[in-house]
């Protein structure tokens, strides 16, 4: 008996890894992006969290697999397992914490198994709603990113400021340019996908509302 070829079209999948010091807001950025909510209650990420989101890029359905890492030293040994297959690496610092910005080169140096020219890198300064506590100027972040040819944006997971610009414009455009959606990269297995949340693209206007679990 011959097999009937499957008519199902494969949806391209891209792995996004968030890296950066503890407390810079990685988990909050991920929650804001995936579920459009912000939870004020601090809950440290243990090891690694994973979420996914379906979006349209260039009119094509795309699965984004988002990996949230823990900034604590003791979990850092886990990170290479995930960065090895990353398509997009988002380096996060807190604009109110200079140290978190100064540590960005350390995070980059730790990426020993990454094919740098095949990965989209982004540098993101979070917590711009705390302008009065700013310790890193926008120019410092921008200069660092420009030298490395990274996408750069300052955002707030709390108010959602600059989220559409960063994710839906700059990042998605780069994904479309670099990966040409339709082509699967890194052969991400279908069973890598846990709870796929079928969601439309980002709402046009976000209120920065608080939320509850």
Ligand X SMILES: Nc1nc2c(ncn2[C@@H]2O[C@H](COP(=O)(O)OP(=O)(O)O)[C@@H](O)[C@H]2O)c(=O)[nH]1
Q: Which residues bind ligand X (CB under 6 A)?
A: 22-28, 40, 42, 45, 71, 126-127, 129-130, 156-158
Number of residues that bind Mg ion (CB under 5 A): 3
Q: Which CB atom, from 10 or from 99, has the smaller least distance to ligand X?
A: 99
Contact status: 23 vs Mg ion (CB under 5 A) = no
- Cα(156)–Cα(126) distance, rounded to whole angstroms? 5
CB atoms within 10 A of CB 142: 16
Task: Find the binding residues for Mg ion in span 39-58 (CB under 5 A).
Answer: 45
- Cα(157)–Cα(26) distance, rounded to whole angstroms? 9
Compute the half-sphere exposure of residue 131: CA atoms within 13 Å on the CB side of its CA: 4
Q: Which CB atom, from 34 or from 130, has the smaller least distance to ligand X?
A: 130
Q: Which CB atom, from 40 or from 73, has the smaller least distance to ligand X?
A: 40
Tokens linked to 127: 């917590």
Select the residue interacting with Mg ion from 19, 24, 27, 64 (CB under 5 A).
27
Q: Count the helices and strands in the chain (H runs, E runs).
A: 7, 6
Residue nearest to ligand X (CB): 25
Q: Where are the alpha helices (DSSP H) in the chain?
A: 26-35, 79-83, 98-102, 104-109, 138-148, 163, 172-179
Q: Which CB atom, from 23 or from 54, has the smaller least distance to ligand X?
A: 23
The residues binding Mg ion (CB under 5 A) are 26-27, 45
């Amino acid at each position: 008996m011959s097999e009937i070829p499957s008519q199902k079209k494969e949806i391209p999948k891209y792995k996004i890894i968030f890296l950066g010091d503890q407390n810079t807001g990685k988990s909050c950025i991920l929650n804001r992006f995936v579920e459009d909510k912000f939870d004020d209650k601090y809950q440290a990420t243990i090891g690694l969290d994973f979420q996914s989101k379906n979006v349209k890029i260039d009119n094509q359905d795309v699965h984004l697999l988002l990996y949230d890492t823990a900034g604590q030293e003791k979990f850092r040994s886990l990170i290479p397992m995930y960065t090895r297959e990353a398509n997009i690496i988002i380096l996060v610092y807190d604009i109110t914490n200079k140290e978190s910005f100064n540590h960005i080169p350390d995070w980059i140096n730790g990426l020993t198994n990454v094919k740098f020219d095949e990965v989209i890198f982004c540098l993101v300064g979070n917590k711009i709603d705390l302008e009065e506590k700013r310790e890193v100027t926008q120019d410092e972040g921008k200069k660092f990113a420009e030298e490395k040819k990274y996408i750069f944006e300052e955002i707030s997971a709390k108010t959602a400021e600059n989220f559409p610009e960063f994710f839906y414009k700059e990042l998605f455009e780069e994904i479309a340019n670099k990966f040409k959606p339709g082509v699967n990269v890194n052969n991400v297995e279908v069973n890598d996908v846990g709870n796929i949340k079928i969601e439309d693209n980002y709402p046009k206007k976000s209120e920065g509302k608080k939320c509850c679990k």
